[in-house]
Structure 1
Amino acid sequence: MKMTSVKGLKKECSQLVLGTVFFSLKNSQIAFDILDSYFEQGGNTIDTAHVYGKGQSEKTVGMWLSCRQIRHEVIILTKGAHHDANGPRVTPEAITYDLMTSLDRLNIDYIDIYMLHRDNPHVPVDEIMDSLYEHQQSGLIRTIGTSNWTYQRIEEANNYAIRKGYPGFVVNSPNLSLAKPNEPRWPGCISVNQGYIDWHKRTQLPLFSWSSQAGGFFTGKYSPDNKEHPDMVRVYYNSDNWERLRRANELAYQKGNGITANHIALAYVLNHPFPTCALIGPEKTSELESSLKAIEVELSEDEMKWLDLRC
């Protein structure tokens, strides 16, 4: 497994980060099988969130950690301050509540990477960063990051952190994929554009992409005539993405060795000129095995541009 460094962590993160949004206590045996296989093959970074399955994801991961007794061998990434039915919750009070609840569900005493799951631009960055720094000082959080924030807002927050002598945000998790969305997959979500990519290239801030495989767009399950999945149609169906799929298939054929368009799409995320990790969400071990193959696919700068219709 290839690794990526994150400032403030003693261990490097595996480039494939195991997403657990589908995990629950009801399917805990399947979840344990996936977690075991991921760990056995060198994966060490597990992504969850306060809102996933109303806590079921965190509880399942916590059970696995307790059963396997490997807490210090893995990196736990969880997220909080997601909005609720009443709107945004990015406040010191909500951050503290979600953090303490997550620690309890996971049955651990610190989080390796704690991300804010959403932003509320109306809340001053000083309130947010002061709150997070307090939890870092108490030892409950090792490092902090963002999910679905604009890069301008991250920069504002980190400039404040520099002035105060805080560590600041050391990782960012927007959506980055070969398929470009027509609109946000979920309200308030951020997908990177070229300006965002240029910012990451300049800052070298590690990017952990969610939905890195574009919801399975490159698996062969979808075609322009297949309208059975309204969300996929709404988000990913456009002529440029069909051309990206065609090129991914063409390049996969050239690479050979069992490489598929889906491997090419995942490799696209992992071959940018700044540190990247890809969040994957396998629902069975065979899907995990397939994703692991993409780690070894290297793409040149010209191949990256060609896949993305930039030449």
Structure 2
Amino acid sequence: MKSIQIPGVYKPVTTLIQGSDYFTPSKFESVCEVLDRYVAKGGTTIDTAYIYCGGESEESIGQWLEERKNREDIVILTKGAHHDRQGARVNKEAITHDLHVSLKRLKTDYIDLYALHRDDLSVSVKIIIDTLNEHIRAGRIHAIGASNWSKERIQEANEYAARNGLIGFTFSSPNLSLAKANEPFWPGCITADDSDIQWHKEHQLPLLSWSSQARGFFTGLYSKENKSNKDLVRVFYNEENWERLERASKLAEEKGVTTIQIALAYVLNQSFPTCALIGARNEEELDSCFEGSNIILTDQEIAWLKGEEVIA
């Protein structure tokens, strides 16, 4: 499986990152099947978060790591400081609390990739970067990132870190997909647009995309007439995306692959380091993602998929 390097992490981060937002200890046998299959395919990196399944996602992964005794082979990406019913929680106390809880659940003393799950513009980047660097110095975190942060805030945070001899964000995790979002899938979420893509290209900051395959929009199960999935209708149903779907289907036919594999390849063939968070639950889905991750797209093909120009 292909991989990238992220500053601060000595292990390879595979371009396919296994998602776990449905993991629970009550279905531990299924969790083991998913993770064992993923690792056997060459995967190293697992995505989770403090809030997933009320913490049961992290607990399941921790149990699996303990039983398999493979912690040093695995890259853990977890996220904290998500808002709650009282509001935003991007502050020193919440970050520290969530991190310690995550470490306990995961049965580990360090997190490879730690991301703040949301942003709070009312909190200065000084407080955030200073807090995260305390945990880096303590060895609890190896690399820090921003999930659903704007490029402007990431740059502000990294400029502060550089001025003060601190470690800044070395990865970002917004949504990036061939389908353009009408609105955020969840409140406070960020979808990378053309200006974000250009910024990542200029800074070469690794991007770890969630919903990289637009939550099934490119599977062929949906059409303009099929409005059974209200979230897909709300977020991805627009004329531009139907055109992109048509183009992806045509290119897939030419290459002898599936449309959803082309959608995945679009994410993984950007001009800066990218990874795709995947939700493969069985062998067929994992094989599809693996094959899609090996498809090479040219710059001209990527532009054509977006409707920018015709393939020469």
**Does the alignment reach a TM-score above 0.5?**
yes
Cα offsets for 1:90-129 (capped at 9, x unmatched): 0000000000000011010100010000000100000001
2:270 corresponding residue in structure 1: 272
Per the alignment, in what secondary structure is the counterpart of residue 50 of structure 2?
A: coil
The one-letter amino acid paired with 2:261 is: H
Residue 132 of structure 2 corresponds to 132
Q: Report the TM-score when normalising by structure 2.
A: 0.98
The answer to whether residue 196 in structure 2 is matched with residue 178 in structure 1 is no
Paired residue type of 1:158:
N
Structure 1 partner of 2:218: 218
The amino acid across from 2:297 in the alignment is L
| C-alpha contact (below 8 Å) 1:218/1:265 kept by paired residues | yes
Query: 1:44-64: CA deviations, max 9, x gaps?
Result: 011000000000110111111
Task: For 2:271 and 2:4, locate their aligned partners in 1 and report how far apart those are by CA, in whole Å.
Answer: 13
Following TM superposition, by how much is the alpha carbon of 1:221 offset from its aligned partner in structure 2, in angstroms? 1.1
Q: CA deviation at 1:295?
A: 1.4
How many angstroms apart in 2 are the aligned matches of 1:20 and 1:278? 13
- Report the counterpart of residue 293 of structure 1 in structure 2: 291
* Aligned partners of 1:22 and 1:281 also within 8 Å: no
* Equivalence for 2:305: 307
- Cα distance between partner residues in 1 of 2:139 and 2:183: 39
Instruction: Report the counterpart of residue 197 of structure 1 in structure 2.
Output: 197
1:200 Cα offset (Å): 0.3
CA contact (8 A) 1:18 1:280 kept: yes
Read off the aligned partner of 2:269 and give its amino acid letter: N
* Structure 1 spans left out of the alignment, 5+ residues: none
The reply to whether residue 61 of structure 1 matches residue 49 of structure 2 is no
Aligned to 2:149: 149
**Could you tell me whether the CA contact under 8 Å between 1:135 and 1:141 is conserved in 2?**
yes
Aligned-pair Cα RMSD in Å: 0.7
- The residue correspondences of 1:36-55 to structure 2 (distance < 5 A) are 36-55=36-55
Rounded to whole Å, the distance in 1 between the matches of 2:164 and 2:53 is 36
Q: Hey, what does 1:99 align to over in structure 2?
A: 99
1:289 CA displacement: 1.8
Instruction: Tell me the distance in 1 between the aligned counterparts of 2:243 and 2:194.
Output: 19
Deviation, structure 1 residue 21? 0.7
Q: Alpha-carbon deviation of 1:283?
A: 2.7
Stretches of 4+ moved more than 6 A in 1? none
For 2:85 and 2:179, locate their aligned partners in 1 and report how far apart those are by CA, in whole Å. Answer: 30
TM-score, structure 1 as length reference? 0.98
Q: For the residues of structure 2 that align with 1:308 and 1:56, how far apart are their CA atoms?
A: 39
Does the CA-based 8 Å contact 1:6-1:171 persist in structure 2?
yes
Aligned residues: 309
Alpha carbons 1:33, 1:285 under 8 Å: kept: no
Identity %: 52
2:119 alignment counterpart: 119
Q: Deviations over 1:20-67 (max 9, x none)?
A: 111111222111111001101110011000000000110111111011
Paired with 1:64 and 1:227, the residues of 2 have a C-alpha distance of 38
- C-alpha displacement of 1:5: 0.8
In 2, the alpha carbon distance for the partners of 1:118 and 1:310 equals: 32
